[in-house]
Amino acid sequence: MIDRARHYMRPPGFLGATTSDEVLVIDLAGEHHDLATVAVGEWSALFQELIGPITGDVLVERLSHLPDSDRDFACLLIDTQLLLEGATPGELLDRRQKAFTDNRGLHLERFPATCEHLILALTGSIMCGLMAPVALSLAYCGIQEQLDVLLTSTALKFTTRDLYESYGIRTWVEPFERRDDIFVPHVHLAQSADCVLVMPASANSLHRLASGTCSDLLAMVVSATDAPVVAMPVMNDAMWNNKAVQRNVSQLREDGVYIIEPGMIVAASALIDGADPMYGGPGSLWRGPIGAMHTVAAVVDHHRSRKQSL
């Protein structure tokens, strides 16, 4: 039940994914709650609004033209505290503020095996520099048997191959690299992958993937794989709401890519100035590395279920 007089907000650890016709919300235990809907775009826009408190009046208005099942799904999210409810905006903002001290860098507890081969693709976002704890946690936790890290040329502006290779994680950059008896990397990686996680996904990488421009190893792998592809966009809200970017995101959803809706982030250019948080960060950021694990597990499970139902 939505109370018009109260306020609602996504918790910092909110993990929501959208496809062409479904919304998936992943709870703190890693279970996914699914909604089949014709209003994926409306849900994506609503998730953006909910990064900060909105009134119950606004929430009711946003849902008023959607089917009953969509409104029931919103109530489910509130009942399960996947959407926070408070008497005042300040009450919710205080809870959001705790994310700045409660987030975790590493998650080294063993995780149930989900897939044999996971590819983590890093693209040219400044958030790329914060992905090492995610990769190290994934490598250690056992969610996959083989982890490969794929770095675009622009990603190398923010991190290095040596960082990952020093921990025993195999990395790839160039389409024509040859190593470990692998002579055509994009074919091998595409065919053996059980999931491709593009985190962070820059606006440029979304464009390449949406247009099918096989101009780098990442785009070649995505074009050649049957595995589920997950993109976690990272950019400021102005870029995210740009019509061209939204066209690319819509095309990717139509092509079967899972889009993890952006979450809260602090603008890199204004970080040292103590800027307020804004919309545009990788959707799993505030859960730490376990958010990436939950994402992979939920997407692989959802993808398998959809294939079995066809």
What CATH number is given to the structural domain containing 78? Answer: 3.90.930
Domain match, 275 and 159 both:
yes
Domain match, 195 and 266 both:
yes
- Average pLDDT in the 137-153 region? 97
Of 100, 132, 163, the domain-final residue? 100
* Predicted confidence (pLDDT) at residue 275 exceeds the cutoff of 80: no
Domain match, 127 and 243 both:
yes
In one-letter notation, the amino acid at residue 127 is M
* Predicted confidence (pLDDT) at residue 122 exceeds the cutoff of 90: yes
Higher-confidence residue: 10 or 273? 10
Residue 207 forms part of a structural domain: yes
Q: How far is CA 275 from CA 93, 202, 205, in A?
A: 15, 22, 27
Q: What is the Cα–Cα distance from 14 to 76, expressed in whole angstroms?
A: 14
In the chain, what is the straight-line distance between the N-terminal and C-terminal CA atoms, in Å? 35
DSSP string for residues in 261-305 = --EEE--GGGGGGTPPPEEEE-TTGGGTHHHHHHHHHHHHHHHHH
pLDDT of residue 9: 98
Biggest alpha carbon–alpha carbon distance for the chain: 64
- Structural domain total, the chain: 2
State the average pLDDT for the chain. 95
Domain match, 65 and 128 both:
no
In one-letter notation, the amino acid at residue 176 is F
Residue 111 forms part of a structural domain: yes
Of 100, 118, 152, the domain-final residue? 100
Q: 200 preceded by cis ω (within 30°)? A: yes
- Average pLDDT in the 68-89 region? 97
Domain match, 186 and 112 both:
yes
pLDDT of residue 300: 97
* Predicted confidence (pLDDT) at residue 183 exceeds the cutoff of 90: yes
Q: What is the Cα–Cα distance from 37 to 3, expressed in whole angstroms?
A: 23
* Predicted confidence (pLDDT) at residue 103 exceeds the cutoff of 90: no
pLDDT confidence bin for 208, thresholds 50/70/90: very high
Domain match, 164 and 24 both:
no
- Average pLDDT in the 191-201 region? 98
* Eight-state DSSP code of residue 156: G
At 134, is the secondary structure helix, strand, or coil?
A: helix
pLDDT confidence bin for 276, thresholds 50/70/90: confident
Q: What is the Cα–Cα distance from 141 to 230, expressed in whole angstroms?
A: 20
Residue 260 near residue 16, CB atoms below 8 Å: yes
Domain match, 175 and 96 both:
no
Range of the domain at 121: 104-309
Of 52, 73, 100, the domain-final residue? 100
Alpha helices for the chain (secondary structure H): 40-49, 56-63, 68-79, 89-97, 99-102, 132-141, 161-165, 185-192, 203-211, 217-224, 237-240, 243-254, 289-309
Domain match, 73 and 112 both:
no
* Predicted confidence (pLDDT) at residue 270 exceeds the cutoff of 80: no
Burial class (CB in 10 A: 0-12, 13-18, 19+), 259: buried
- Express as a percent the part of the chain with pLDDT over 70: 100
pLDDT confidence bin for 41, thresholds 50/70/90: very high
- Average pLDDT in the 156-181 region? 95
* Eight-state DSSP code of residue 126: G
Residue 123 near residue 198, CB atoms below 8 Å: yes
pLDDT confidence bin for 201, thresholds 50/70/90: very high
pLDDT of residue 207: 98
| Bridge partners of residue 147, in order along the sequence | 118
Residue 105 neighbours by CB distance under 10 Å: 12
Domain match, 171 and 296 both:
yes
Domain match, 19 and 121 both:
no
Q: How far is CA 240 from CA 160, 172, 261, in A?
A: 27, 28, 10
Residue 158 near residue 189, CB atoms below 8 Å: no
- Average pLDDT in the 187-210 region? 97
